[in-house]
Amino acid sequence: MKTFGRIARFGLLCAIALIVLAACSPAPTPIPPPTAVPATSVPAPTAVPPTAVPPPTAVPPTKAPTAAPTATTAPVTIRATLWDYELYGYDKAMVEDFMKQYPNIKVEVLNFANPDYDNKITVMLNGGEDVDVIYAKSVALFGGMISRNQVMDIAPLIKRDNLDLKPYGAAITAYMTVGDKILGLPYRYDRYLLYYNKDIFDAAGVPYPGPDMTWDDFRALALKLTKGSGATKTWGALLCPVNYCNLTPGLQEGKGGYDTMDFSLFKDGWSNFYAMEYTDKSAPDWPSLKSVSADQTYFLKGTTGMMINGTWFLNLVKTEIDAGHTTIHWGAQRVPVSNAMKAAGVHASNGSITPIVINAKSKNVEAAWTFIKYVTSERAGKIAASYLITPGYNSAGVVDAMAQVKGFDPSAKDAILKSGNAYPAVKGANKYAGALSTMVNQQLELFFTQNQTLDKTFSEMDRLRKEILAQP
């Protein structure tokens, strides 16, 4: 159990660092979405294998959501929590549009800096502060709120209003359901794509990535693009030294999350990634990238041909191009798959979901519910899409709104619509989610820094998972 203690302490440090990478927004240096990496081990009930979140499908356009019946038409003010609200445009645009649609409901936004958000919300709720709506930025925050009975079950409201859940795919059951309770609606939903630098492919005379690649193909393609040495070297691929760039293999198999999956499902992808870094030298190795604090923005330097990343990166690319920080010409394709998946004719990815929930102690439930329905509607989704942010409401119309944005490459539309199911790393209501994610992140780094073999990594992950799940 001492091993688990060390991991927990290490995990806390990792979590604090990873929280900084958690939120994605249209800033000059956006960061990954919150739900991908839990900050600490808090969430709730039982371990349930993740359910696939289907890709966007054509859904008939919807009107602005209708406010639920209320006992009075008197003006009401609801308080909602958000991070970095004043820095980015899309949340503010949605809130302002909502208040135009529903002039009797005023939204008071409680704004916190991204790194402080989870802690601030936890303290507020534990202290009984008056707040109605919470954007649950991380798995740890969401699960912790559930475990402390701080989230309202909205299943009765959904049934009463006959709310159509189809546009959310399986996001509800994958991330927001505990038993027969539904504890939120998806505010944001990101899936992983393969991004590529058109300039590097054109210079090498190599065709752009196709839609049916395996991880073996990915490795071979990276080698074709690699040339030169030293500071002017062109790398075939970038594998960021963080978990979110390395977890697509394995999770995309759709055979469970960290709590139940066979960790050897990562083998096809991780063995290729390792060979690219240390054998082919077609991707910078983990320690070298770590030494210069390289993250997803490293791709924008224009020296690497490909990178696996989430759909939040669409906004980052546009932001950096608009600001004149990069001149990269980019494209996107759906991610490669394992040989077994290709043989079976299956394509899928991994994804992350950010819920919006009602405080169980809210005194303005009807107004809060009206706001949540709006934020997760197609109308609000198109506002988010106009900033190249992927909303929780999935439809062809939303993706079309993204495609109309200047700087959006047409290749990304097909990549999003045809990327298949997207599986989360662990169900949000799993109380062990934080500890499991920390453990996986630590073992991932030990392997890619050549401190243990791949087989040893998998055996350690199995052993440590048993220790974690044995905790009360």
Model pLDDT for residues 222-274, shown as the tens digit of each residue? 999 999 999 899 999 999 988 878 999 999 998 988 999 999 999 999 999 99
Exposed/middle/buried for 265, CB within 10 Å: 0-12, 13-18, 19+? buried
What's the rounded Cα separation, in Å, for the pair 64 and 380?
Answer: 8
Is 30 a member of any domain?
no
pLDDT digit string, tens, across residues 73-114: 689 999 999 999 987 789 999 999 999 999 999 999 999 998
pLDDT digit string, tens, across residues 393-430: 988 889 899 999 988 999 999 999 888 888 888 776 67
Beta bridge partners of 106: 77
Is 166 a member of any domain?
no
> Which has more confidence, 193 or 16?
193
What's the rounded Cα separation, in Å, for the pair 26 and 315?
Answer: 6
Residue 129's alpha-carbon distances to 142, 150, 418, in angstroms, are 17, 12, 44
Is 290 a member of any domain?
yes
Identify the pLDDT of residue 435. 85
Is 299 a member of any domain?
yes
Of the ranges 165-179, 332-346, 427-441, the best mean pLDDT one = 332-346
Q: For the CA atoms of the chain, what is the radius of gyration?
A: 22
Q: Give 55's DSSP letter.
A: P
Please provide the DSSP assignment of 295-343 as one string: -GGGGGGS-BSEEEEETTHHHHHHHHHHTTS----EEEEEPPB-HHHHH
Is 61 a member of any domain?
no
Identify the pLDDT of residue 64. 38
What's the rounded Cα separation, in Å, for the pair 388 and 374?
Answer: 19
Task: Return the SS3 of 42.
Answer: coil
pLDDT digit string, tens, across residues 265-298: 999 999 999 999 999 999 999 999 999 988 898 9
Identify the pLDDT of residue 160. 97
Is 162 a member of any domain?
no
Is 211 a member of any domain?
yes
What's the rounded Cα separation, in Å, for the pair 389 and 314?
Answer: 8
What residues have CB less than 8 Å from 449, skipping those under 6 apart? 286, 287, 290
Identify the pLDDT of residue 249. 96
Range of the domain at 216: 191-348+429-469
Q: Confidence band (pLDDT; 50, 70, 90) for 56?
A: very low
Over residues 193-200, the mean pLDDT reads: 97
- Give the count of domains, the chain: 1
pLDDT digit string, tens, across residues 18-49: 333 333 333 333 333 333 333 333 333 333 33
Is 376 a member of any domain?
no
> Which has more confidence, 86 or 344?
344
Identify the CATH number of the domain in which residue 292 sits. 3.40.190.10
